[in-house]
Amino acid sequence: MTEEEVMKILSNIKYPGYSKSITDFKVIKSINFNGDRIELLLNLATKNESAKAKIYEDIQKEFKKIGKIIEIKTVQEQPQSTTVEQKYDVSGAKKRIAILSAKGGVGKSTFAVSLGTGLKREGYKVGLFDADIHGPNVP
């Protein structure tokens, strides 16, 4: 059996709660062959134990159908989160102005765009970052 054949079988196993397969979610970290045993290393970042159990069960079922022994191990690598500072280099900015309110619909975006436009007309370099947790309003 080849790695491609193993991946083809794994591509038929749906990730619990989704229409995509576990290969679509890229949870397969490595596939090793040890004699007639297949060793599978999965990267499952979910804390949902029933989803993990379902994935294990479905993998075991698929390989049992073809008479293969599969050993499943998991690692739990959390995706690296990037901060605004890591994503956007703002180290050269001399001044930063925050426009905020705990209420929606009060004109924060309008005010921020107007302020930025005014500062730009005065010759300043301007950047605008909309960090609204419900989604940005400023393109």
Tens of pLDDT, residue by residue over 58-94, are 999 999 999 988 999 988 766 555 555 556 667 778 8
Residues with pLDDT less than 70, the chain: 77-89, 139
CATH number of 3-75: 3.30.300.130
Residues of the chain with CATH 3.30.300.130: 3-75
Length in residues, the chain:
139
User: Which positions ≥6 away from 28 have C-beta within 8 Å?
Assistant: 7, 10, 22, 40, 41, 42, 43
| Residue 87: closest CA among 46, 119, 131, 126 | 131
Owner of token pair 């090793």? 32
pTM, to two decimals: 0.55
